[in-house]
Chains A and B, each alone.
Chain A
């Protein structure tokens, strides 16, 4: 006959089994539960204008394998700041956006732009240029002003040469000149060392009688120099090979156009036609091409069909002298090489963004490029394993203690 102690043995086994089952359940949940920590998920709301550092951090986490997503209302704005390639030390700020934009730098507001964006020119910028639409901001480094090279004017003694030189000098360019007075006499301006081609960034040719200089000019352009062809030089046969277009027959300017405040209409013009495929149009007058440009090897050539532009300065309206000066300075700047800004600024149309730090010039584009498109809602995060009820632990402990006490009471090991 079994003693009462022996009759507890099945209960002891039941208690042990239940306790072991509970422990096994805990272990099983631990092993089979989804490992949320193995692939951390990060989701940010970018509405509040993420800093460049914050974006850098997110991209770093994404590259490290984390699941990084973003959402929020980030306006599609972009900005770029580039120095004007003339001596004015001014910077052109271009910005695009669907909404109105406010522009500023570290000193405060500069200007505003309407919806769609546009460009403004500013000087004396301090710190990065910042463009904002609503709560979204974009910024671009304010580039160092470019250092323009020297300009050589080749022409004949006359009003066009004189006032072209004057306009460029007043705009801040360092100008050398070689002017033909007769077949054998040339008047020079500037240091003799700077008269040689190659010492300048840009050559302005106003005369057709270039002679042996024409072939030197071609070499100069192919080696990276800038060339402006204007006046009679726009149709110089010796330079036709590098000219962006072919000038047509000279048309006299409109009588009275100076009085009508339309000075360009008053100037004689050789319309530019037969544009080369790679040429770009820089200026038109009532549908007629007046200024065009093209690249030639490493250099650039700008061709202007106008003649006697000095009349603009002398006979133009109240702003005639200033407009003539700026027009010539822009022509020369267009022919000069691109500015070097140490790669700090971003460039429109350069394709992929730099691999290094994310700049803030186009925050939405940067986020999409690096982190993918915005998600409409935050992705569900895997639920954390629910903790077992505390009473299960207490029961397990009671069962184990009871089983142990029962065994001890009946003298079992």
Chain B
């Protein structure tokens, strides 16, 4: 059985499957840069099911308003307490958008309030070095969404460990392409995804 399977959270509200190519792209990068025994196919796991605990790193995204059910909320709370990490990325790249507002509310209700993650956090040097913090995305630089370049990611910490990681940078758009197309990029923009996986597997 592989050491790592990339899992995408399926939640009752919203469009959880808005970035279907992200898993394959991150799986490709993890296999490309590390020796981690990664499953070649990702998994989709309902946020409110006990299967969530089979995947200590789970990715969640969407454009639409997010409303967790009671089961999703309680499962997420337990998931974080046991050592899981949920990575939430705003596919709208818009701090005034519905996803952002509702996701923040739900995270605060289930686990706790999100706070800025320092740009010298271990996440940014878990494998590749990101001395300036989270890498910018083309969607930020092109002025789409909220027309902001977000300086920080946000997180809910359990001790010194990240339990919830939140991004307004729209990595879901940035990474949502076929892995074969990386050859057209001068710099692989999924490297931060590798850091996220290595961090989750080691901290």
| B-binding residues in A (CB < 8 A) | 156-163, 166, 179-183, 185, 187, 189, 259, 308, 310-311, 313-315, 320-321
Q: Do B81 and A157 touch (CB < 8 A)? A: no
Q: Do A159 and B127 touch (CB < 8 A)? A: no
15 other A-B residue contacts (CB within 8 Å) besides A166-B83, A308-B1: A156-B3, A156-B36, A157-B3, A157-B202, A158-B3, A158-B4, A163-B56, A179-B202, A180-B35, A182-B34, A183-B35, A187-B198, A259-B50, A314-B84, A321-B82
By a CB distance below 8 angstroms, the chain B residues around A157 are 3, 34-36, 198, 201-202
Known: A183-B35, A314-B56, A315-B53. A159 touches B198 (CB 8 A): no
Q: Do B54 and A315 touch (CB < 8 A)? A: yes
Q: Do A181 and B81 touch (CB < 8 A)? A: no
Contact with A along B104-129 (1 / 0, CB 8 A): 00000000000000000000001100
Q: How far is the CA of A163 from the CA of B53 in the complex (A)?
A: 13
Q: How far is the CA of A200 from the CA of B105 in the complex (A)?
A: 45
Q: How far is the CA of A78 from the CA of B188 in the complex (A)?
A: 70
Interface band, chain B: 20 to 34
Q: How far is the CA of A315 from the CA of B51 in the complex (A)?
A: 8
- B residues 27-61 with Cβ under 8 Å of A? 34-37, 50, 53-54, 56
Known: A313-B82, A314-B84. A182 touches B35 (CB 8 A): yes
Selected A-B contacts with CB under 8 Å, 24 pairs: A156-B36, A157-B35, A157-B36, A157-B198, A157-B202, A158-B36, A158-B37, A159-B4, A159-B201, A161-B201, A161-B202, A162-B56, A162-B83, A162-B200, A179-B202, A181-B35, A185-B34, A187-B202, A189-B202, A259-B50, A311-B54, A314-B82, A314-B84, A315-B54
Q: Do A313 and B83 touch (CB < 8 A)? A: yes
Q: Does B178 contact A (CB under 8 A)?
A: no
Q: Does B203 contact A (CB under 8 A)?
A: yes
The distance from the CB of B137 to the nearest CB of chain A, in whole angstroms, is 26
By a CB distance below 8 angstroms, the chain A residues around B81 are 321
The distance from the CB of A324 to the nearest CB of chain B, in whole angstroms, is 9
Q: How far is the CA of A158 from the CA of B198 in the complex (A)?
A: 8
| A-binding residues in B (CB < 8 A) | 1, 3-4, 34-37, 50, 53-54, 56, 81-84, 126-127, 161, 198, 200-203
The 5 lowest CB-CB distance pairs between A and B, nearest first, are A182-B35, A158-B3, A314-B53, A315-B53, A157-B201
Q: Do B82 and A159 touch (CB < 8 A)? A: no
Known: A314-B53, A314-B54, A315-B53. A162 touches B82 (CB 8 A): no
Q: How far is the CA of A23 from the CA of B202 in the complex (A)?
A: 104
Q: Do A315 and B50 touch (CB < 8 A)? A: yes
Q: Do B53 and A159 touch (CB < 8 A)? A: no
The distance from the CB of B43 to the nearest CB of chain A, in whole angstroms, is 14
Q: How far is the CA of A185 from the CA of B36 in the complex (A)?
A: 11
Q: How far is the CA of A187 from the CA of B200 in the complex (A)?
A: 13
Q: How far is the CA of A158 from the CA of B35 in the complex (A)?
A: 11
By a CB distance below 8 angstroms, the chain B residues around A166 are 83, 161
Question: In the complex, what residue of chain B is closest to A318 when comparing beta carbons?
Answer: B78
Q: Do A320 and B202 touch (CB < 8 A)? A: no
Q: Do B198 and A181 touch (CB < 8 A)? A: yes
By a CB distance below 8 angstroms, the chain A residues around B50 are 259, 315
The distance from the CB of B85 to the nearest CB of chain A, in whole angstroms, is 10
Question: In the complex, what residue of chain A is closest to B3 when comparing beta carbons?
Answer: A158
Q: How far is the CA of A181 from the CA of B35 in the complex (A)?
A: 5
Q: Do B34 and A181 touch (CB < 8 A)? A: yes
Q: Do B34 and A159 touch (CB < 8 A)? A: no
Known: A313-B82, A320-B82. A162 touches B202 (CB 8 A): yes
By a CB distance below 8 angstroms, the chain B residues around A182 are 34-35
Q: Do B36 and A181 touch (CB < 8 A)? A: yes
By a CB distance below 8 angstroms, the chain B residues around A315 are 50, 53-54
By a CB distance below 8 angstroms, the chain A residues around B202 are 157, 161-162, 179, 187, 189
By a CB distance below 8 angstroms, the chain A residues around B201 are 157-159, 161-162
Question: In the complex, what residue of chain B is closest to A315 when comparing beta carbons?
Answer: B53
Known: A187-B198, A315-B50. A159 touches B35 (CB 8 A): no
By a CB distance below 8 angstroms, the chain B residues around A179 are 202
Q: How far is the CA of A181 from the CA of B1 in the complex (A)?
A: 17
Question: In the complex, what residue of chain B is closest to A324 when comparing beta carbons?
Answer: B82
Contact of B3 among A159, A311, A320 (CB under 8 A): A159
By a CB distance below 8 angstroms, the chain B residues around A183 are 35
Question: In the complex, what residue of chain A is closest to B51 when comparing beta carbons?
Answer: A315
By a CB distance below 8 angstroms, the chain A residues around B203 are 162
The distance from the CB of A207 to the nearest CB of chain B, in whole angstroms, is 11
Question: In the complex, what residue of chain A is closest to B52 when comparing beta carbons?
Answer: A314
Q: How far is the CA of A163 from the CA of B34 in the complex (A)?
A: 20
By a CB distance below 8 angstroms, the chain A residues around B1 are 308
Q: How far is the CA of A187 from the CA of B128 in the complex (A)?
A: 12
Name the residue among B1, B82, B198 with the largest chain A CB count within 10 angstroms: B82
By a CB distance below 8 angstroms, the chain A residues around B36 are 156-158, 181
By a CB distance below 8 angstroms, the chain B residues around A311 are 54
The distance from the CB of A313 to the nearest CB of chain B, in whole angstroms, is 6
Question: In the complex, what residue of chain B is closest to A155 when comparing beta carbons?
Answer: B202
Q: How far is the CA of A220 from the CA of B197 in the complex (A)?
A: 33
By a CB distance below 8 angstroms, the chain B residues around A159 are 3-4, 56, 201
By a CB distance below 8 angstroms, the chain A residues around B84 are 314
By a CB distance below 8 angstroms, the chain A residues around B127 are 181
Q: Do A321 and B83 touch (CB < 8 A)? A: yes
Q: Do A163 and B198 touch (CB < 8 A)? A: no
